[in-house]
């Protein structure tokens, strides 16, 4: 059963806004090419719908996290460059090669296996993307492995280095000294390797200035409308809107509590609207008693805990004819910016996007304007 017109909520994904966001990022890069990060099903929003839109904007390089994501993308875009952040598990090199996919090489073992596979095919040297760890302590060659690679350059025999990359830990904080430290480390480590194009900037990194651009931008979240410059107005167009409808109203005229744990107490009188979206749908439980929704332009608080399939809103501030069963409620977007909700729920917009659930009716529109 797939979500239909009977779904409790509709998720609208503005493909025109994604296209505009790609162009905005490309402009910000001022001539440096711009790849697109579409891991996690394009941050939960739908790879099959979004990847072709980016390709039509001229994007020809894509990053995903896993081999399965890469194989799905390869079916959608037969000729794009596709790189896989998590690298190739031992034994999967042939699948990468057969589908013209690039594993991001994160350690010396991965480099060795990719080079060996390349030599075993007796053809053109395979392209290689090498990830240098400059401060995430996550993926990539740490400085000691980069030095070893420099000392033993034959490790790259059979490979053609097409990209050297690293990843910023604090890019959304322009004043964080970690950014410059990582850039300096990146320059020092890549100087050890054969000359190759470089990439450092994620969405926020693109807004740190030219020194962070190198030869390829690698934005993800900003494509999907999330503000890459949290201290400034959002330069990106809004992509995601989530709407639902009131399914029941309760006029309370004596002291009473709302929801599980009786966490919200009504002192004397209130009007409570129930909306059919819950944590199953990715409306985080941590938003209970904290977040707000909007009816028209009026913000109404989420009161009580978030249930599995329902939330409750205090709509007392609205005139009775503005909150009826069937009245539209906006949960994300417009008067409810996703960044603000994320902060109230103790998380980041990335997590809210990625968790938006399968029960919503998903509507892809070409342009809101
Ligand atoms: C996810 C990811 C990106 C994109 O980051 P955003 O902050 O979403 O722009 C870029 N590079 C790497 C290595 C990533 O894992």
Bridge pairing between strands 9-14 and 240-245? antiparallel
Evaluate: CB of 220 within 6 angstroms of ligand 1.
yes
Evaluate: CB of 352 within 6 angstroms of ligand 1.
no
Q: What is the structure's pLDDT at 358? A: 87
- State both tokens at 284: 């985080």
The residue from 39, 212, 224, 279 that is catalytic is 39
Torsion-angle region of residue 153: left (phi > 0), alpha (psi -120 to 50) or beta?
alpha
Query: Which residues, listed in sequence order, are joined to residue 311 by a DSSP beta bridge?
Result: 275
Q: What is the structure's pLDDT at 1? A: 45
Evaluate: CB of 167 within 6 angstroms of ligand 1.
yes
Which residue has its alpha carbon closest to ligand 1 atom 3? 202
Which residue has its alpha carbon closest to ligand 1 atom 12? 167
Report the candidate in 62, 117, 123, 127 with the shortest Cα–Cα distance to residue 89: 117
Nearest ligand 1 atom to alpha carbon 167: 13
CA of 269 to the centre of ligand 1 (A): 48
The residue from 22, 214, 260, 283 that is catalytic is 260
* Inter-CA distances, 215 with 30, 55, 85, 141, 164, Å: 11, 19, 18, 20, 10
SS3 182: helix
Helix/strand/coil (H, E, C) string of 212-232?
HCCCCECCCHHHHCCCCCCCC
Q: Do 208 and 10 meet the contact criterion of CB atoms below 8 Å apart?
A: no
* Inter-CA distances, 295 with 128, 237, 243, 299, 334, Å: 52, 22, 10, 7, 11
Rounded to 5°, the CA angle 93-141-130 comes to: 50
39 labelled catalytic? yes
Q: In whole angstroms, give the CA distance from residue 38 to residue 65.
A: 8
CA of 111 to the centre of ligand 1 (A): 22
pLDDT one digit per residue (tens) for the chain, 369 residues: 455 667 889 999 999 999 999 999 999 999 999 999 999 999 999 999 999 999 999 999 999 999 999 999 999 999 999 999 999 999 999 999 999 999 999 999 999 999 999 999 989 999 999 999 999 999 999 999 999 999 999 999 999 999 999 999 999 999 999 999 999 999 999 999 999 999 999 999 999 999 999 999 999 999 999 999 999 999 999 999 999 999 999 999 999 999 999 999 999 999 999 999 999 999 999 999 999 999 999 999 999 999 999 999 999 999 999 999 999 999 999 999 999 999 999 999 999 999 998 899 999 998 755
Neighbours of 189 (CB within 10 A): 24
E runs forming strands in the chain: 9-14, 36-37, 61-64, 81-84, 102-105, 126-131, 159-165, 198-199, 240-245, 248-252, 256-258, 264-266, 270-275, 292-295, 298-301, 311-314, 328-332, 361-365
Nearest ligand 1 atom to alpha carbon 172: 7
Evaluate: CB of 131 within 6 angstroms of ligand 1.
no
Place of tokens 């904290």: 290
CA of 285 to the centre of ligand 1 (A): 26
Q: How many CA atoms lie within 13 A of 185 on its CB side?
A: 22
Evaluate: CB of 218 within 6 angstroms of ligand 1.
yes
Neighbours of 241 (CB within 10 A): 21
Q: What is the structure's pLDDT at 3? A: 58
SS3 324: coil
Nearest ligand 1 atom to alpha carbon 139: 13
Give this prediction's pTM: 0.95
Q: In whole angstroms, give the CA distance from residue 366 to residue 369.
A: 9
Evaluate: CB of 166 within 6 angstroms of ligand 1.
no
Q: In whole angstroms, give the CA distance from residue 292 to residue 33.
A: 39
311-314 contact pairs (CB < 8 A, 24+) = 311/274, 311/275, 311/277, 311/278, 311/283, 311/287, 312/258, 312/259, 312/264, 312/272, 312/273, 312/274, 312/275, 313/246, 313/272, 313/273, 313/274, 313/275, 314/270, 314/271, 314/272, 314/273
Q: What is the sign of the dihedral through the CA atoms of 236, 227, 104 and 96?
A: negative
* Inter-CA distances, 320 with 268, 307, 315, 325, Å: 17, 25, 9, 11
Evaluate: CB of 227 within 6 angstroms of ligand 1.
no
Which residue has its alpha carbon closest to ligand 1 atom 1? 220
Bridge pairing between strands 264-266 and 256-258? antiparallel
Which residue has its alpha carbon closest to ligand 1 atom 15? 85
Q: Do 38 and 64 meet the contact criterion of CB atoms below 8 Å apart?
A: yes
Report the candidate in 331, 314, 316 with the shortest Cα–Cα distance to residue 276: 331
């Amino acid at each position: 059963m797939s979500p239909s017109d009977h779904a409790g909520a509709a998720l609208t994904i503005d493909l025109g806004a994604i296209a505009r966001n790609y162009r905005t990022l490309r402009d910000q890069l001022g001539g440096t090419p711009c790849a697109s990060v579409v891991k996690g099903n394009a941050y939960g929003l739908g790879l099959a719908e979004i990847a072709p839109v980016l390709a039509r904007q001229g994007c020809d390089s894509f990053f995903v996290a896993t081999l399965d994501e890469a194989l799905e993308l390869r079916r959608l875009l037969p000729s794009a460059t596709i790189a896989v952040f998590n690298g190739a598990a031992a034994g999967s090199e042939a699948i990468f090669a057969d589908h013209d996919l690039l594993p991001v090489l994160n350690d010396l073992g991965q480099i060795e296996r990719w080079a060996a596979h390349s030599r075993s095919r007796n053809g053109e040297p395979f392209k290689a993307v090498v990830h240098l760890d400059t401060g995430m302590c996550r993926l990539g060659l740490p400085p000691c492995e980069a030095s070893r690679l420099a000392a033993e350059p034959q490790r790259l025999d059979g490979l053609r280095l097409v990209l050297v990359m690293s990843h910023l830990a604090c890019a959304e904080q322009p004043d964080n000294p970690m950014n410059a430290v990582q850039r300096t480390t990146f320059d020092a480590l890549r100087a050890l390797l054969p000359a190759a194009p470089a990439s450092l900037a994620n969405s926020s990194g693109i807004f740190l200035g030219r020194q962070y651009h190198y030869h390829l931008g690698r934005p993800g979240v900003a494509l999907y409308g999330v503000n890459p410059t949290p201290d400034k107005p959002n330069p990106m167009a809004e992509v995601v809107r989530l709407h639902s409808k009131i399914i029941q109203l309760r006029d309370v005229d004596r002291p009473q509590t709302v929801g599980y744990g009786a966490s919200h107490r009504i002192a004397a009188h209130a009007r409570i609207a129930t909306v059919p979206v819950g944590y199953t749908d990715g409306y985080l439980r941590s938003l209970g008693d904290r977040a707000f929704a909007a009816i028209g332009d009026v913000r109404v608080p989420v009161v009580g805990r978030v249930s599995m399939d329902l939330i409750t809103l205090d709509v007392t501030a609205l005139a009775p004819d503005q909150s009826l069963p069937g009245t539209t409620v906006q949960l994300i977007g417009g008067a409810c910016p996703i960044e603000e909700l994320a902060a109230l729920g103790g998380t980041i917009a990335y997590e809210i996007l990625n968790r938006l659930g399968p029960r919503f009716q998903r509507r892809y529109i070409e342009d809101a304007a």
